Amino acid sequence: MTEKEKVEAVLEQIRPSLQADGGDIQLVSVKDGIVSVKLQGHCAGCPMSQMTIKNGVERILKSQIPEVKEVVSV
């Protein structure tokens, strides 16, 4: 399983929580441990989106995939 496939599998676990709030997340790329994502729907304009990425998505990805260094929103 590639690193991108691992990240996508974890995002599938996170996605229902975002969708419950009217949003979603799209994986843009994985390169050198940096995961680029794009928040969609209500999440895209939410003032809490950076907190969602850092305290939610990044924390979960790092705990399940040690190669992940950072998650950034594009």
What is the predicted pLDDT for the residue at 9? 98
Whole-model pTM: value is: 0.92
Yes or no: is domain 3-73 CATH 3.40.50.300?
no
Q: State the burial class of residue 55 (Cβ atoms within 10 Å of its Cβ: 0-12, 13-18, 19+).
A: exposed
| Residue ranges covered by each domain of the chain | 3-73
pLDDT in tens, 27-44: 999 999 999 999 999 988
